Structure 1
Amino acid sequence: MSAMKLNLFAAWVSFALVLLSVVCLGGFLVAAGSGQGGWAVIAGSLCVVALAGAMALYGGTVRHDHRLHHETPHLF
């Protein structure tokens, strides 16, 4: 896989994971506010995992690109 394709993949997947975490954060707030603790734990956990995954994927790609002296990932 070329560096450009890897950068685009990392950028778009990270973007999708951030969007997923925003949706999960909304679900967490609604579930916690309505007293449904089980759903709040599930939504909160998914939010944290999605954010951590996005940061790890994007950060790892940036680190890899800096090591190889490539351009950092970006969407546009």
Structure 2
Amino acid sequence: MKLNLFVAWSAFALALIGVITIAFTLVAAGSGHGGFALASGVAAAVAVVLAVGMVAGTVRRDHHRHIETPHLF
């Protein structure tokens, strides 16, 4: 149960980081800083993929063990 709670909050934080870095990407691209736009775009993609992967892996493990899936509340 502790793992589910940890994964839920970690994935939530990573999703928020992904949204913030997408905003950084748009601002950097709009102001002509291609290198910063590329770096923040990669960071956004990594954060979102990690969040989805963590939740998907935990859901798969929970379904295999027949226990409740991760949730925040």
Shorter-chain TM-score: which interval? over 0.9
What's 1:32 paired with? Answer: 29
Please give the root-mean-square deviation of Cα atoms over the aligned residues, in Å: 0.3
What letter is aligned with 1:6?
L
Looking at structure 1, the residues matched to 45 and 18 of structure 2 have their Cα atoms a distance apart, in angstroms, of 7
Specify every segment of 5 or more residues in structure 1 that has no aligned partner in the other structure, as ranges.
none
How do 1:1-76 and structure 2 match up within 5 A? 4-76=1-73
* Alpha-carbon distance between aligned partners in 2 of 1:10 and 1:58, rounded to the nearest angstrom: 7
Q: Which residues of structure 2 form unaligned runs of 5+?
A: none
Extract structure 1 runs of 4+ deviating beyond 3 A: none
Q: Partners of 1:74 and 1:20 in 2: how far apart?
A: 19
Equivalent pairs counted in the alignment come to 73
TM-score (ref. length: structure 1): 0.95
CA distance in 1, matches of 2:7, 2:55: 6
